[in-house]
Chains A and B, each alone.
Chain A
Amino acid sequence: MASKISLIFIPLLVLLAIGYSLAKKNNAYSSFIKGVEEGLPLFKELFPSIIAMLLCVTLLKSCGLIDDIKSVMMKWIPQSETIIDLTPMILFRPISGSASIACFDAICKTLGPDSFTAKIAATIQGSTDTTIYILALYFGSVGVTKWKHALKTGLLTDVVGIVIGIVLAVIFLR
């Protein structure tokens, strides 16, 4: 049910964009071309940090550290597999968007994009953001050094987002 409703989101959105543009007598085609072009410089911006973070993620996986932690943990708590698979992504999430996306990519690659873990991961990605990075970027840009309660509020909110993401996915996508 949840996934059925989700399905109509994207076609509807594209329809809304084009329909509204038509109603306002705008040139939708040239707007689209312009917008796509504006996204291209992102390649140069993203590539270095993705490669850097992928190095961390690849090593974490291939050196066996995560597998070893996993097998030790699973002896004690057999249900913890999913949580351990998600842990690197969750830990990276507040610091670096590139790193947590690289982790998400690794989850999709090893467990499959439709695995239960990947679905939880997707829900978490949608309901959290790179808290520490955002705060540092925005406050840094205007020279604000005293953040008041921004950091603890942001991080607690992320924790809540993660818990909600897991709970929702467990209930509806299992």
Chain B
Amino acid sequence: MSDHKPKKTIGNRPPRAFGWMAEYSNEHKLLEAARKVRDSGYTDTDAFTPFPVHGIDEALGIKPTKLPFIVLCCGLTGLSLALLMQWWMNGVDYMYIISGKPMGITPASIPVAFEMTILFSAFSTFLGMIALNQLPKFSNPVFTNPRFDRATDDKFFLYVSAKDKYYNRDSVRELLGGTQHDSLDEVIEDSTPDALPRPIWLTALLVVLAGLIPAMIILNMRNGFSTAPRFHVFFDMDFQPKKKAQQTTTIFADGRTMRPQVEGTVARGQLDEQDSFYLGYDPNKLSALENTDGVRLVATQADPKPQDTAKDGGTKVIPAANTPAAPAAALNLPWLTTLPIEANDENMKLGETKFQTYCSACHGYSGYGDGLVHKRAEALGQGFWIPPTSMHIDRVASQPVGQIFHTITKGQGKMPGYAASMNAKERWAVVLYVKALQRSRNASDKDIPEDKKPSIEDLTQPKTEAKK
């Protein structure tokens, strides 16, 4: 039991005093003293005990905490978030169909909603307690008293703060001195320096810096470019024991991974119901013809070349003619007159692509026979060059679609057949495109649908006006 005299100094001033603290040997003495202090009118008081002493809140006049209210609010937030999350994620943004269960909020949403409610409530309870208690607080003037170590063991402390509006150093000492205390000390300012010791700073700095490294690496990788192969932490399925299309193999004699179609087979989905789809004419009608035109046409087919075993399937081998066939217009053949594919945007786009890939080099983008090859040949002045046929001359423009298909398939004159490069559907798409090209050359404004006219008129306006 001693009046604690501050021995150390802070800078060149004596440490400040924060109040008085008395020590008691049990909770009953503490409660008695606390009541006494409260009855004397002091309110800025506190008790420090190794366990919660019941009745101390009344004895000191501590108000109940508002923690339950905070927890209730956070719990309800968790509940609403969980319901909203499930409703939006599975009911709106990404709808799974799971055994025909309804989307959105169902009995199946309850477990997650419950867990989220508890999660939010529990964390708000803990964090709320920490925050309301203003913890962590590592420096506290009460720690300056070496006897205070036993506040977490078996001793009970009562503290009257100097901030209390009725505080008077001597009268408080007298008041606490009148209780059954074991010791009575003045709480003084902590004289140890405020700054953290240098090694702790350094360690903390190092830890923070080290912690930044992975983040920097990730940031660099996310934003930079690299030609080096990907670094695989986990292989996922990036390396699989399998061969891709153009790779070699030792398994097969020809060393190719890609295998040719087995002879006499048709791949699934490759066989159209109509033979005419692959030929451009009706073979039944052809064989019924009595004149020699049919025989001549068939004769050109009787000599298949190996490179032309087309993608269209083995049974439908359509060889390209390497001998010029008779002028097709002269033949009275059962050509298809309607397209076997639909004339829609998709096929038109396909036809355009294929046309520009395979045909435009000679025939030109508009089909006038003025392709790059032709221009080059003319520029070189090659006399033996036979110009490609324009598609807009009457002879070609009047051909039925089947005949154009046949020409693309088998070739004509110097033009090779394209059966090896394009499958039947693609060739039909080219036919569609060619027909569209032909028609576009002889179109009148009647052909333009009414609703499209304004937009076309826009195009014809001078640009300066359009800008307005």
Q: Report whether chain A binds chain B.
A: no
Which residues on A are within 8 Å of B, measured CB to CB? none
